[in-house]
Amino acid sequence: MKIYNTLTKQKEEFVPLVEGKVSMYVCGPTVYNYIHIGNARPMIVFDTVRRYLMYKGFDVNYVSNFTDVDDKIIKAANEAGVTASDISQKFIAECKKDMADMNILPATTHPLATQEIDGMLEMIQTLMDKGYAYKVEDGTVYYRTRKFAEYGKLSHKNIDDLEGGHRDIKVTGADAKEDPLDFVLWKPKKEGEISWQSPWCDGRPGWHIECSVMSKKYLGEQIDIHAGGEDLVFPHHENEIAQSEAANGKTFANYWMHNAFLNIDNKKMSKSLGNFFTVREITEKYDPQVLRFFMLNAHYRSPLNFSADLMESAKNSLERILNAAENLRAHMTQEDTLTDADQENLKVREELVQKFCDAMEDDFNTADALAAIFEIVKLANTTVDGASSAYAKELYHTLETLSGICGLKVEAEEEILDSDIEELIQKRQDARKNKDFALADQIRDELLEKGIELKDTREGVKWKRI
Ligand SMILES: [Zn+2]
C-alpha cells in the first residue's frame, strides 16, 4: 500500500511502526459554530482511510481532537453572553451529530484541549529546559524556531524566505520576541477570558502545542500517520513537528497526509461571498450519503469543486448503487447453489474487487475505487436475472463490503416495529411527566426520522406512518 507523504513529496510504501497496528492523528475542528462542508472533507476522507486499513485487518488507533479553547470560541461566547465552555460543548454535540449523519466512525479517542492542559504545561517546560522556548516580560512563552534546524521540512519552505515575509512584525514591547518566526506556546489571559495557572502567567495554550500533546498522550511519541487539510501544513503541522521532535527527541509522524481544498462554484468558500455552507444545511437538502459519495468521487489530493449540479449527479450515481443492491436483495429469496454460469461471473467479480483494492492501495484513490464499484453494479444488473439466489447473495455481500469501506450504506432501511413505537411513545410520556421536555422532543424527532408522526389528542397519543 502506497501513501503520498507530504514530508517527502512522494508516494511511499506504508510500513507501520508496529506490525498489524496503525496509530493515526487527524486534526479536528475548532468548535465555535456548526461545521462547514470544508471541515467535512478531511473527516470523510480520513474516515475512509481508516475503514480501508481496518478492512485490511489493521488495528487502528484513531485520535481526532476538538479545539475547545480559542479566540473564535471566546468571541462567540461573549457575543451570546454565555461561557466559552457552553459554546464548545454545544458545538461538539452538533459536530458529533453531523459526523454520525455522514457515517463517520467515532474516533478511538476524541480528546478536548481544555482537558489536556497539564500535558501542555509539561511539554512547554521540557522545551524551556532544552532551550527551545523562552518567556518574555508579559508572561508569553515563545518557541525558538531557529533553534530547530529542520524547521520548514514539511512545508518545504526555506527559513530565510519565511523571515523575509515577516520583517514588518513589531519586535518591541512587553510581548517582544527574539525572532519574528517564533510562535506562541502559552499566552497571558485577557480580561474575562478563560485561563489556567502556569509557572509563567495565568493564561492559555497556543493552538499548535495542543495537538503535539494530545497526539503524544493517546498515541505515543512517534506515530504512523498524521493528517489534516492542506491549509494546516504551514504553520500548524510545521510547528507541531518542531515542538514534538524537539521535546521528545524522536521523529513525530512517519507519514503526513493532507487533503486538498474544497471550492464552491469554483470560488473559495467564504462567508463574505455568501457561498458558505454548513454540513447541516446540506444534509437538510440531501441524504448525507450523497455528500459522502460526492467527496469520495474525487481523489483527496485534488481540489474539489462543490456545486448543486455536481451534488445532483452524485445523488443519481449513488442511487444506481442503491438500486442495484435492492435488486440483488429481491433475488435473495431461496437456499440454492451456484450454477456454472454464476461461477464464471464470480470470477469477474474477483477481478473487480482486486481493481477496487488496487485503487485504494494507490494512495487511496477513491475515485477509481468507486469506478470499480460501478462495474460491480453493472455486473449485477446484467447477470442477476436468471441467476441463483446464492449468486445474488455473493454479489450483494461484495457490494455491501466495498461500499462499506467508503462508508456508504446499501442495506435496506430497517423497519420499525409497532411494539417499538409504542415503547418509545411510553418513554416520551414518562419524560413529559418528569418535565424532561428535551428528552420528550428528542424521542418525537427520532420517531419522525423513522417516518412515524405523533399526534397528541384528548384520547392520548396517536401515531401514523408517513
Ligand atoms: Zn492539529
Query: Mind listing the pLDDT tens digit for each residue in 53-81?
Result: 999 999 999 999 999 999 999 999 999 99
Q: How remote is the CA of residue 331 from the centroid of ligand 1, in Å?
A: 48
Residues 259-265 have a mean pLDDT of 93
Q: Which residues are close to ligand 1, an ion, with C-beta < 5 A?
A: 27, 211
Residues 379-393 have a mean pLDDT of 97
Q: How remote is the CA of residue 204 from the centroid of ligand 1, in Å?
A: 16
DSSP assignment, residue 179? S
Q: What's the confidence (pLDDT) of residue 27?
A: 97
Q: Given pLDDT bands bounded at 50, 70 and 90, which one contains residue 457?
A: confident
Give the span between the Cα atoms of 200 and 175, in whole angstroms: 13
Q: How remote is the CA of residue 361 from the centroid of ligand 1, in Å?
A: 26
- For the record, the C-alpha cell of 152 comes out as 520548514
Give the span between the Cα atoms of 251 and 36, in whole angstroms: 33
Alpha helices in 222-365 (DSSP H): 238-248, 279-285, 288-296, 308-331, 340-361
Q: How remote is the CA of residue 215 from the centroid of ligand 1, in Å?
A: 9
Do the Cβ atoms of 405 and 48 come closer than 8 Å?
yes
Give the least confident one: 107-121, 256-270, 347-361, 390-404: 256-270
Arch. (CATH architecture) of 2-259: 3-Layer(aba) Sandwich (3.40)
DSSP assignment, residue 334? S
Q: How remote is the CA of residue 64 from the centroid of ligand 1, in Å?
A: 9
Helix axis angle, 437-449 relative to 418-433, nearest 10°? 160
What digits encode the pLDDT tens for the residues 182-194? 999 999 999 888 9
- With a pLDDT cut of 90, the percent of the chain lying above it is 83
Q: Given pLDDT bands bounded at 50, 70 and 90, which one contains residue 174?
A: low
Under CATH, which number does the domain 308-405 receive? 1.20.120.640
pLDDT at 449 over 90: no
pLDDT at 171 over 60: no
From the number of C-beta atoms within 10 Å of its C-beta (0-12, 13-18, 19+), residue 280 rates as middle
Write down the pTM of the prediction.
0.88
Do the Cβ atoms of 210 and 146 come closer than 8 Å?
no
Q: How remote is the CA of residue 25 from the centroid of ligand 1, in Å?
A: 8
Q: How remote is the CA of residue 74 from the centroid of ligand 1, in Å?
A: 19
Give the span between the Cα atoms of 199 and 191, in whole angstroms: 19
Helix, strand or coil for residue 61? strand
Q: Given pLDDT bands bounded at 50, 70 and 90, which one contains residue 271?
A: confident
Q: How remote is the CA of residue 236 from the centroid of ligand 1, in Å?
A: 6
Q: How remote is the CA of residue 65 from the centroid of ligand 1, in Å?
A: 8
Amino acid at 333: T
The strand pairing partners of 10, in sequence order, are: 5
Q: What's the confidence (pLDDT) of residue 164?
A: 57
Do the Cβ atoms of 366 and 51 come closer than 8 Å?
no
Q: Given pLDDT bands bounded at 50, 70 and 90, which one contains residue 466?
A: confident
Q: How remote is the CA of residue 29 from the centroid of ligand 1, in Å?
A: 9
Give the residue carrying C-alpha cell 412515524.
452
Q: How remote is the CA of residue 214 from the centroid of ligand 1, in Å?
A: 9
pLDDT higher at 164 or 367? 367
Do the Cβ atoms of 260 and 304 come closer than 8 Å?
yes
Q: What's the confidence (pLDDT) of residue 165?
A: 53
Give the span between the Cα atoms of 287 and 298, in whole angstroms: 19
